[in-house]
Amino acid sequence: MILVDNSRKEYNQEEIFRGALICARHKSWPEWQSGIVTDVSGRVIRVQYLPSIQNVQNHYFILAEEVENGEWEIRYSSDDLESVKSYPEKQEEAPPEDTGDEIEGNTGGTMDGSE
């Protein structure tokens, strides 16, 4: 889990740390912004990214309080993209239930008998 509860939510610095790859979007941003984590404290992640003008570097900050309040969507990898984690964590969808409406023996051919 990216956040741990220490009477207030803080970042788990064993889960996300300097050098991790991150892609995040604040609720006020139209698009995701990819970058590299350059610093993590209990309350703030600092991300370095390249803006559209490629000759400068820029940073954005992700506050733990804003993440807790649902203002951020975050995807990150701390193991060179061997696994990518998301926060908030996505709920797995259950497979559709079998309603029994299918006709047994139906091979999917057309109504005139041709396949």
Q: How far is CA 87 from CA 15, 96, 98, 110, in A?
A: 12, 25, 31, 46
The pLDDT value given to residue 75:
96
Distance CA 58, CA 44 (A): 16
Q: What percentage of the chain has pLDDT greater than the value 70?
A: 77
pTM of the predicted structure, to 2 decimals:
0.70
Q: Is 35:42 a contact under the CB 8 Å cutoff?
A: no
Give the percent of the chain with pLDDT over 90. Answer: 58
Q: Is the pLDDT of residue 39 over 80?
A: yes
Residue among 89, 83, 48 nearest 67 (CA): 89
Ordered structural domains, the chain, with CATH: 3-79 (2.30.30.100)
**What's the CA gap between 95 and 58, in Å, rounded?**
43
55-60 long-range contacts, CB within 8 A, separation 24+: 60/24, 60/33, 60/35
d(CA 12, CA 63): 13
Per-residue pLDDT reduced to its tens digit, 50-79:
887 777 789 999 999 999 999 999 999 999
SS3 category, 79: coil
